[in-house]
Amino acid sequence: EKIWSNKANKHCADCWAPSPDWASINLCVVICKQCAGQHRSLGSNISKVQSLKLDTSVWSNEIVQLFIVLGNDRANRFWAARLPVAEALHPEASAEQRRDFISHKYREGRYRLPHPRYATQEDVLQALCAAVAGPALLKTILQFFSSSEAGLAADPTACEVASRADLWWGPESKRAWNHLGSPSAQELGPEGVYNEITQPVVHSGYLYRATPPPKLPGAKKSREDFQRTWCSLERALLFFETEKCTEPLGHLERGDLISLGVSRAQALTSPNPTERFRFTLDLFLSGEKVQQLGTDGPEALQAWASAIGK
């Protein structure tokens, strides 16, 4: 139930079947029983399959937190960024179709984003297997996906490719997703989870701060909910009314931040005064809070993501 608290985990990451109760620990995806069988056939060097209900000893607090923060949607921004609609898997797929698709997706890495640190699919899989078996699991795996997303934010060409990452859902799946009340694929672009802040980086400028911060990620906020604020990133992230003020309105300590997400949403066809910011940062904080910060454009988004992510 904790893992399902992220709505993206309520559908299989591969075929979009509802209520999946299996997962691949190293690939960071929640999957259905039918897809889990095909994952097992890949071998544990590719996919380490565990039941959400039966293998309770495997699910440490750190692994549970990882699946909640990352979620199937963000995992698929990496694994399925280049997936054509015609090749998307559906809940009614046969065992043979599942086998071929899952092999293409994970054994070959046919649909994934490139990773700046790992040149081959074998390198990617080895890195993830080592991460789940090593110390600082949460931080290491978040950094793995962060690195790919950071390259995505810096590379306009790659971003154009990844903006179609929602195609892994397929038309029926996107309608079902929207019916659940989650943001539609047209409203949201790719999002990525960034690593913890590990050292202070000096950066400053105006951002649009959502107040009060929402309790859960993905909460919709209009422009009216954001306040233009001068932000200064030093040993902590400080918020000021203007750049000339000396007394901060508030601050976030490094220890408050669990991870950082970035969103580059597509423009709406009919903009209106309540349209949300297209370029936003989501600061995942302790206590299940999220501080949303809107930026004026992709350059500011990349600059702040890079500064906070270092």
List C-alpha distances in Å: 85 to 89, 108, 138, 161, 292: 9, 18, 32, 13, 31
Range of the domain at 210: 203-309
In a domain, 198, yes or no: no
User: Do 220 and 108 share a structural domain?
Assistant: no
Q: Please check whether residues 156 and 259 belong to one and the same domain.
A: no
Same domain, yes or no: 15 and 139: yes
Same-domain pairing of 81 and 119: yes
Same domain, 76 and 7: yes
Judgement on whether residues 30 and 131 belong to the same structural domain of the protein: yes
Are 96 and 144 in a shared domain? yes
Is residue 76 domain-resident?
A: yes
| CA pair distance 306, 310, nearest whole angstrom | 6
Count of structural domains, the chain = 2
- Written as six digits, the tokens of 70 are 């990352």
Element (H, E) at 299: helix 298-309
CB atoms inside a 10 Å sphere around CB 219:
14
Q: Do 173 and 226 fall within a single domain? A: no
Residue 62, pLDDT score: 87
Residue 264 in contact with residue 190, Cβ under 8 Å?
Answer: yes
| 114 and 57 within one domain | yes
**Which CATH number belongs to the domain containing residue 246 in this structure?**
2.30.29.30
pLDDT tens for the 310 residues of the chain, in order: 689 888 899 999 999 999 999 999 999 999 999 999 999 999 999 999 999 988 777 888 889 989 998 999 999 999 998 898 889 999 999 999 999 999 999 999 999 999 989 999 999 999 999 999 888 888 899 989 988 877 665 555 444 444 444 444 433 333 333 333 333 333 333 333 333 323 344 688 899 998 765 555 445 556 677 889 998 887 788 888 888 877 788 888 877 787 777 776 555 444 544 455 778 888 888 777 888 888 888 888 888 887 776 6
Same domain, yes or no, for 74 and 147? yes
Q: Count other C-beta atoms under 10 Å from residue 181's C-beta.
A: 9
